[in-house]
Each structure stands twice: as structure tokens, then as C-alpha cells.
A and B are shown apart, each in its own frame.
Chain A
Amino acid sequence: MSDQDVAPVPERDLGEISSPHHHETVAPGVPVRDVTDGGPEMVQFLDADGKRVSRGNCEPYEPILEGLDPETMRSLYRDLVLVRRVDAEGHALQRQGELGLWPSLLGQEAAQVGAGRAMSTQDYAFPGYREHGVAWCKGVPPLNLLGMFRGVNHGGWDSNANNFHLYTIVIGNQMLHATGYAMGVQRDGAVGTGDPSRDTAVMAFTGDGGTAQGDYNEALVFASVAHAPVVFFVQNNQWAISEPNERQFRVPPYQRAKGFGFPGVRVDGNDVLAVYAVTKHALDEARSGQGPTLIEAFTYRMGAHTTSDDPTKYRVSAEVDLWREKDPIKRMRSHLEREGIADPAFFDGIDAEADALAAEIRTGCQNMPDPELPTMFDKVYAEQHPVIDRERAELIAYHAGFEEGN
């Protein structure tokens, strides 16, 4: 079939989602879209220059922002810088052959730190595979994340230690787990008691591509029907490997939430204050028994999909340049400087702290031992299993045979 055989799809009024388009590849009839413009509804409190603004549907969140003291503002900045450094180190370790793969969060620091910091200790996170920043905010030691990318385990940390579940690589799976976990929270009576140390919410993380997956959509249905205390956090970084938003949806995730029966909010994902406030609000509602919320953090994947990817095959560098202007760390730093909340000594101190953290991760990774061979049979089952026992014994005997020289 040639292009001429395909009748163009007539333009229809698709309301608010029509706006100028940026990508060249687009299905017939899909309205063009500016990939850097989150639209008039997007909540923003810091503009690209770090100036305090009130844009989009920001009203409900203003009071949360007003309550932020300078100390908290500085610590948000600190987390942004440290998280970027953790990520840079992960990337470098992959390049040096210490890790097999690294999915970089570069550009998404504010989305992740804003979300992670809004969570209470008892709130539980279900991440994808890129949520190193959320992990950091939940207190997960960065070295824990490195094991699976080094190939020594499949995650292997105790999720309950920090209420941060294992990374989930199969797109969408974790959205249902989060919803089910939230249903358990309901059954435990840990919602709407008014006790801030008891009431619990759950957060589920995925990307723009993830919103196409069946599991994602089923999770939203289940959460809605159960009125579960779960917040769905979609980092729309504009790309699912090589596929732009146009390949995944015509109506953006935040607008689709309404169709599932709960509110959706688009927030500037490069504005840590906005993300923090919007997430805090949604979590408060979930904990108090108001049900789910969907947050779409409008952001950008500055790097490759992973260290295995070559983005020059499918996107133009001009697009990356536009987003570099919106850098989340630069923005927060300007804000702190502008407001006189932090001085040069503070920034120098954070940079020094980042250097130390990077060094610690590097040596920790390099010294991470290879696991003992027979341990690959451990923990497959919670109880003893005859096939496992036999094969473990066979493996040990096989290797002993080599040592005896036969």
C-alpha cells in the first residue's frame, strides 16, 4: 500500500489538545503539538528563570507552598543536586564497565525529588526502573540500586525497609501492585483516621509510554472502583525509547484521569516546588480517604533511554537544547539566590557533598562482590524444593569435578 492509498483522516475538533506540533512523524489526523509546552493548565510555581509565579491550575496548591520554610527549600535543592550526581555516577560506572546498563534520570530530578519528598515515611512507592531520585528521597542507599544493573541480583533490597518496592522492568506491572497495596491499606483501616502517622498512601510510577499498557489502565479502573489511596505519577518525559507521545495517546494522561473517575493534574515536572506541592496535596487527599489522583509531570528525558540507546536515530538535538533551558536544578538555584535563601557557601557545600557521595558510590560499586555460584538456587522458593536441591548439588559436584582435574 502506498501513501497515496491512505485517505487523510479529517481534522476534528479535539478541544484543548490541539496545539502546534513539534515531531515530524505523526499519524494522520493527530494534531500537532509543541513538545516543550505543557499547556495553560500545567501547574507551575517557578518559571525557567527561577522566578516565583503562579501559573496554571495552581490555586489548591498555593497554601502548601506558603508553608515551606527556607530550610526545606534548601534541602530540596540539595536532593536535586545529589540525585543528579548519583545518576551521573551510575552512568559513568556503566561506561567504565562496572555496570551492564544504566537508565539515566537526567532532566527528571525535580519530578522525582518533588514526588519523593512529598511522601510520608509510611507512604509506599512502586517505581519503574528510572526512579533513582524517588529512591533517594525514601532513604534507599544508592548502592542498593546498582546491584541489578551490575548483574549481581535482580534488585534484592528489602522493600519494607524504606517502603520502596523493587524496580519493575515490565512496563505497567507495578501500577496494579500499587493499587492492590492501597486496597490493603484500606482494609487495615489506615486511611482517613486523621492520625498523620497512621494514614497511608501509595504512589505508583510509570512513564508516558506506560500509559498505553493494559496493566496501567486496569490499575486506574481498580483504583477508581475501590476508591483506593493511591497516587499515579506519570513522568511524561516525551519519549518512550524512540516513540514520541503521539504514538501512545491523543489525550494526555492527566486529562484521561477524569474518564476513570478521579482528578488528573499536569504539573511542570522541572519545577520541584510545583511537583512537591501537587504531590503533597494528592497524597493528603488519598490518606484522608478522598481516593486516587493522577499526576502527570511534564518533563523531558535529556539523555538516551538507557546506556544501550542511541537517540540520534530518532530525535533532533534542537529539541534537547530547548529543554536544557528548562533545567530543574538551575531553576531552583536561581530561585534560592533570587530570594536570598542560600549563599555561595551553601552551594559549594552541596557540591562538595556530591563529590563525596559520588566517590562513595564508585568504590562501593567497584567493591561489590560477585555472588557465590550456588546462591543462584537460593530464594527461588520460600520452602525447600527437591529440584532446586538436586540441581544445586549437581552444580557443586560439577565444579568439584574440575578442581579434581577430571
Chain B
Amino acid sequence: MAGQKLTLAKGLNAGLRAAMEKDAKVVLMGEDIGKLGGVFRITEGLQKDFGEERVIDTPLAEAGILGTAVGLALRGYRPVVEIQFDGFIYPAFDQIISQVSKMHSRSLGYLKVPMVIRVPFGGGIGAVEHHSESNEAYFAHTAGLRVVSCSNPEDAYWMIQQAIECDDPVMFYEPKRRYHERAEVEIDDAAGAPRGLHEAQVLREGTDVTLIAYGPMVKTCMEAAGAAADEGRSLEVIDLRSLSPLDLDTVTASAEKTGRVVVVHEASTFLGMGAEIAAEIQQKCFYHLEAPVLRVGGYNIPYPPSRFEEEFLPNLDRVLDGVDKALAY
């Protein structure tokens, strides 16, 4: 797949297909993922090609999906679970927190539950409630889970395969409002993934302020960096890619270089990813900082009705406002 334009959704679809071809133990589970191909069509065509035994339209019960995924994993399968929307993961919260995350440690390593829990997350699509949430921090807070988020088609293709190959359970956060955005990709299957699942990537180098983002906010930050450049400001943009574990080497190297950091995410700021990142940076880079680490994120309210969402979600102006504040110190 060299020099071809691919959407993020198609990148995921191709990555899932590749993983299923490589390993017969990979099974997909979820609501409406068969004939319909999922409400976002991420699994389109996979049931047709791999059969109903490997692409399972499950009953409508998230606790059931996760609980049976645990059983399948214990039996040697590698379930890839689709949660239809972020806000519908909570019935499965118990299984994920109480069982999925702890199975390996409580069996003293005898048991593994390799599985991927795919969560289309975030807002910006004008949806009704429960369809726009950013709940990654609940899971990043839980030891035993790995949490990652892709922001572009190429990462979607590689990261989903890496997540499936991982022997630990991986929460895989997909920026649903970016599903249909295209990018030129250079995919060389023989060469393999260009970087590890838990490596952050510096997408744009700069010297004045570092913007750290993941998932849907990466594009917003890149646009902000472009706009800032027009005003003579040099912003560095890091796509975090992995929320747990964090690639602190990449983060701190950038913080030490620019001395100013703004973390951007859709999730509410209170105890969000930004809080953890800010804590780590101030601890590790204290003497390099010119300003406190700032956060631009969702307000600390339930995700609002869609007519408010443009104001709730960080946009170009709010990110640049954060940059201004960081530079004002």
C-alpha cells in the first residue's frame, strides 16, 4: 500500500484483516459488526470473508461481550471487541476492571488474556448523549490495561495489529470523528511497523511551545501549529499515541527543549490524561520549564448537548489561547 490515500476507517479495516489472516485465533466480537460491518463500517466485509465463527454478532450486552471475551482468551483465542460507542462501555466496566486487567497478576502470570477493546471515542459528530465521550482516563488509571489511541490511517493500520499481537489487554481508542479523513500512506508490510505501539511521535518540530495530544486532537494541534507559524511562533506537536504506558522520554525531551507545554484532549481536564502528564513533566523537567504545564480540554461537565459541543471541545482558538497563556509567563 504505497503512496495510496486511505481513510482511518479503512486503515483499521485493513489492519484487522491482516491480523486475522496472520493468526487464526483472532476473533472479532461486537454488536452489528457482521453484515452491517459495525455502525462505522470498521469491520466491513470481514464476516463475509472470515465467517460467523470469527466475526461474531453478539447479543446486545456489553458485560456479556467482555466476560465471554475473557473466556475465549483463556481458551487461547485473541478476541478483538468492538464497543459500539464510548458511552456504552460502562456495562462492561466491571469485567474490564475486575477481571481483564487483573487476570495475569492474580494468576501470578499463569494466565494471559490478550484482547483488544476497540472504543470509538470523542465528540464532534453532532450525536445524542452517550455517543461522544472520552473515557480513556478511567482505563489508563487501571493497572493491567494498556491504553493507546491512533490519530491517522497509517497508525490505525499498524497499531491495531500491534495491539492484537500484544499479550496484554489493550484498550484501543479510535477518534470517531476522524474515521473518514484520508491521508497518504506508505505501508511496507515487509518492513513492518515504523514504530512501537507505546512510542510517542513528534509530528512537527518547534522551539517555542510543545503541544501534546492524541486521537482526534492531534489534527487540531497540527492546525494550531500551522496557524501559529504564520504569526512567527514555532510549536512542536507530539502525538502521544500511547496513554498507558506514557512515552515520557519523548515528552520530557520536548519539554526540556521548549520549556513550555500545553496538553490538549477532549476529555474533561479534572484527573484527565493532562493531569498525569503535567505532573510527570514538572517533576522531571522542573529546571527547564519557563511556564507551568497547561491543559486545554473539555469542561468538567457531562458531555453537553451537541449544540454546545463546538464550545465544549478544544478548537483551534482555544489551543492557541493556551499557547498564548504559556508564552505569557
Contact = CB atoms under 8 A, between A and B. Distances in A.
Contacts of B302: 154, 380
A388 B301 contact: yes
Nearest to B51: A3
B58 interface: yes
Interface in B87-139: 87-88, 90-91, 126-130
Given A25-B34, A170-B88, A101 B308 contact: no
Interface stretch (A208-216, A255-263, A336-344): A208-216
Contact of B311 (A172, A214, A242, A395): A395
Interface residues of B, number: 44
Contacts of A247: 57-59
A248 interface: yes
A187 interface: no
A170 B58 contact: no
A101 B39 CA distance: 14
B35 interface: yes
A241 B60 CA distance: 10
B34 A242 contact: yes
Contact of A2 (B51, B57, B59, B309): B51
Contact of B126 (A27, A151, A248): A151
Interface string B283-312: 000000000000000011110111111011
Contacts, number: 124
B53 A243 contact: no
A401 B28 CA distance: 50
B32 A243 contact: yes
A147 B306 CA distance: 11
A88 interface: no
Contacts of A346: none
A210 B35 CA distance: 20
A291 B226 CA distance: 66
A373 B311 contact: yes
- Which of the listed residues A153, A170, A210, A395 has the most CB atoms from chain B within 10 Å of its own CB? A170
Interface in A247-282: 247-249
Contact of A169 (B57, B58, B129, B301): B129
Contacts of B31: 240-241, 243
B37 A376 contact: no
Contacts of A170: 87-88, 90-91, 130
A242 B36 contact: yes
Q: Is the interface of B mostly helix, strand, loop or mixed?
A: loop
Contact of A212 (B61, B299, B304): B61
A398 B324 CA distance: 13
A308 interface: yes
A6 interface: yes
A252 to B, nearest CB: 14
Contacts of A3: 51, 53
Contact of B304 (A6, A213, A376, A402): A376
Contacts of B306: 100, 151
A301 interface: no
A73 interface: no
B170 to A, nearest CB: 23
Interface residues on A, range: 35 or more
B52 interface: yes
A391 B128 contact: no
A357 interface: no
B299 A376 contact: yes
A154 B129 contact: yes
B127 A100 contact: yes
A213 B61 contact: yes
A376 B36 contact: no
Given A151-B305, A154-B129, A169-B130, A214 B63 contact: yes
Interface string B206-244: 000000000000000000000000000000000000000
B60 A212 contact: yes
Interface in B40-88: 51-54, 57-61, 63-64, 87-88
Contacts of B63: 214
A387 interface: yes
B128 A240 contact: no
Contacts of A2: 51
Contacts of A27: 52
Contacts of A402: 317
A214 B64 contact: yes
Given A148-B305, A380-B302, A398-B321, A101 B128 contact: yes
B210 to A, nearest CB: 22
Nearest to A398: B321
Nearest to A375: B308
A299 B321 CA distance: 54
- Which of the listed residues B39, B60, B61, B302 has the most CB atoms from chain A within 10 Å of its own CB? B60
B53 A100 contact: no
A214 B51 contact: no
A402 B64 CA distance: 50
B143 interface: no
A248 B37 contact: no
A241 B59 contact: no
A1 interface: yes
Interface string A165-181: 00001111000000000
A350 B92 CA distance: 47
Contacts of A171: 60, 88
6 contacts: A151-B305, A170-B91, A241-B39, A313-B36, A370-B307, A377-B299
Given A170-B90, A243-B57, 9 more contacts: A100-B126, A151-B306, A215-B91, A243-B34, A247-B59, A248-B60, A376-B304, A388-B300, A395-B311
